[in-house]
Amino acid sequence: MYTTDFSGKNYFQFLHVSKGLVVVYVRNENGDSVTEVTEAFGKGPLTPEQFATYSQLTGAKGVPVSSMQSIPDQDTCPP
């Protein structure tokens, strides 16, 4: 786990590293506020197997699948 101080105390942990997928957990503690995020990085869209890995790791951190968002699906920037 890595830590840094920026807008509170931040903790970073690599949950999964493979040739095609990296999953990172980030926790920010800023006073009474705590924010937890997991992020998946891959080459292109995640495969069903990669998404299953990401979902399992994210769920293990207490984040419900219903809270997951696909950033590329939300992107409004022109290509």
Model pTM greater than 0.85?
A: no
pLDDT (mean) for 16-42 = 92
- Domain range for 13 is 2-63
Give the chain's mean pLDDT.
Answer: 87
Residue 16's domain is classified under what CATH number? Answer: 2.40.128.20
In a domain, 71, yes or no: no
In a domain, 73, yes or no: no
Q: pLDDT tens, 36-53?
A: 889 999 888 889 999 999
User: b/e per residue, 54-77, with b = 16+ CB within 10 A?
Assistant: bbebbeeeebeeeeeeeeeeeeee
The count of structural domains within the chain is: 1
If one counts every other C-beta atom within 10 angstroms of the C-beta of residue 30, the result is 12
What is the gyration radius of the CA atoms in the chain, in angstroms? 14
